[in-house]
Amino acid sequence: MEETFYLLANPTRCYQRKPRQTTIDETLLRLLNKKFTGLKISSENYNNNITKIERIFEEYYIKETIAKLIDEVVEKVVNEQVLL
């Protein structure tokens, strides 16, 4: 009951705005702008660069996977575990 009276006495408490949730992309863009103060990174540039970074990571992952598979096959051939 005390809370009811408190809310009646303080009507702004009912209408407080919730803070806006920021996305990871917004946070990363803000951090990049802080890191590179001499550059102005727009959201369009950010999206293009994130796409390029994603491609680089995908290519690296594919190269690592292929290298591991080749190493496993070579090791099995050396140990004569593969039947041809």
Q: Which residue is listed with tokens 């209408």?
A: 15
Q: Does the model's pTM come out above 0.95?
A: no
Q: Among 53, 56, 49, 52, which residue's Cα sits nearest to residue 29?
A: 49
- 45-67 tens-digit pLDDT: 999 999 999 999 999 999 999 99
Burial readout 10-20 (b: 16 or more C-beta within 10 A, e: otherwise):
eeeeeeeeeee
pLDDT band at 82 (very low <50, low <70, confident <90, very high): low
- 14-45 tens-digit pLDDT: 666 778 888 999 999 999 999 999 999 999 99
Check if the beta carbon of residue 50 is closer than 8 Å to that of residue 25: yes
Which token pair is 76?
Answer: 């099995």
